[in-house]
């Protein structure tokens, strides 16, 4: 099956309706992923090395994906049925995407931002030449659609970003027409974990750049 075909998105409306129905917020949001991001950040000894952050983004997102699986498997045993390669792929792309969406906030200018994006693209291509960039574009397209639908549905504002990316991740893992109650919880937790880990990927070195 082609993961990125528009035909596979036929049931996204139904899935979005399910995620809108999420109730009580999940309190525990994967603090391990934040610690991992800080560990990668400690590799940058000099201020202002945004280029190195761009180069390290894909490896960091991939490491985050790999280390996330076992803790979440303990919480969500139904993940045993998931292909771990697909898990790694989806969470890596999601982490890269969340970080890239934050680049504009740095106000670096179009040329400088494009330079950094080119480094991220090169790293994605090196990581997965067949599907890395393709997967990123698919994530971007679906995320933007999810975000707009959630925002227009009265979804709780603080969870729109994390639920929109979490929805894409769970869709990539299960490709289901609807979601169970546990899958709704997974959307919130995995989306929140990825967002928490990479939302401020660029921030630590900005003041010195």
pLDDT in tens, 15-74: 454 444 444 344 334 444 555 555 555 544 444 579 999 999 999 999 999 999 999 999
**C-alpha span between 92 and 159 (Å, rounded):** 20
- Token pair, residue 67, equals 């280390």
- Token pair, residue 101, equals 């969406």
The radius of gyration of the chain's CA atoms, rounded to the nearest angstrom, is 17
Cα-Cα-Cα-Cα dihedral sign, residues 59, 175, 28, 23: positive
**C-alpha span between 192 and 26 (Å, rounded):** 9
Q: 28 φ, ψ to 5°?
A: -85, 115
- Token pair, residue 26, equals 């999940």
**Which residue carries 């075909």 as its tokens?**
5
Is the Cβ–Cβ distance between 34 and 203 less than 8 Å?
no
**99-130 tens-digit pLDDT:** 999 988 888 888 989 999 999 999 999 999 99
Q: Taking 90 as the threshold, does the pLDDT of residue 169 lie above it? A: yes
Tell me the DSSP string of 50-75: HHHHHHHHHHHHHHHHHHHHHHHHHH
Q: What angle do CA 133, 90, 188 make, to 5 degrees?
A: 130
**Averaged pLDDT of the chain:** 81
Is the Cβ–Cβ distance between 102 and 200 less than 8 Å?
yes
Is the Cβ–Cβ distance between 26 and 189 less than 8 Å?
yes
Q: Give me the pLDDT at residue 44, please.
A: 47
Q: Taking 70 as the threshold, does the pLDDT of residue 206 lie above it? A: no
**C-alpha span between 23 and 192 (Å, rounded):** 15
Poorest-confidence range of 53-57, 91-95, 169-173, 180-184? Answer: 180-184
Q: Give me the pLDDT at residue 106, please.
A: 84
- Token pair, residue 199, equals 């939302």
Q: Taking 90 as the threshold, does the pLDDT of residue 208 lie above it? A: no
Is the Cβ–Cβ distance between 97 and 140 less than 8 Å?
yes
**137-152 tens-digit pLDDT:** 999 999 999 999 999 9
Q: Give me the pLDDT at residue 30, please.
A: 46
For residue 177, name the pLDDT band (cuts at 50, 70, 90).
low
């Amino acid at each position: 099956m082609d993961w990125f075909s528009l035909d596979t998105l036929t049931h996204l409306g139904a899935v979005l309706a399910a995620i809108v129905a999420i109730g009580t917020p999940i309190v525990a949001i994967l603090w391990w992923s934040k610690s991992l991001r800080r560990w990668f950040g400690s590799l940058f000894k000099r201020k202002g090395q945004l280029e190195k952050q761009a180069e390290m983004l894909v490896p960091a997102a991939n490491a985050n994906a790999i280390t996330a699986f076992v803790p979440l498997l303990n919480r969500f045993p139904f993940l045993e049925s998931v292909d771990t390669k697909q898990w790694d792929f989806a969470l890596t792309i999601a982490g890269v995407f969340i970080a890239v969406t934050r680049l504009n906030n740095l106000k670096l200018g179009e040329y400088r931002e494009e330079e950094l994006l080119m480094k991220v693209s090169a790293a994605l291509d090196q990581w997965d030449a067949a599907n890395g960039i393709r997967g990123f574009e698919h994530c971007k397209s679906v995320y933007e659609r999810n975000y707009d639908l959630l925002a227009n549905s009265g979804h709780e504002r603080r969870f729109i970003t994390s639920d929109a990316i979490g929805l894409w991740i769970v869709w990539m893992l299960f490709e289901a027409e609807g979601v169970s109650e546990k899958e709704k919880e997974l959307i919130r937790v995995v989306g929140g974990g990825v967002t928490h880990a990479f939302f401020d990927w660029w921030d630590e070195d900005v003041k010195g750049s």
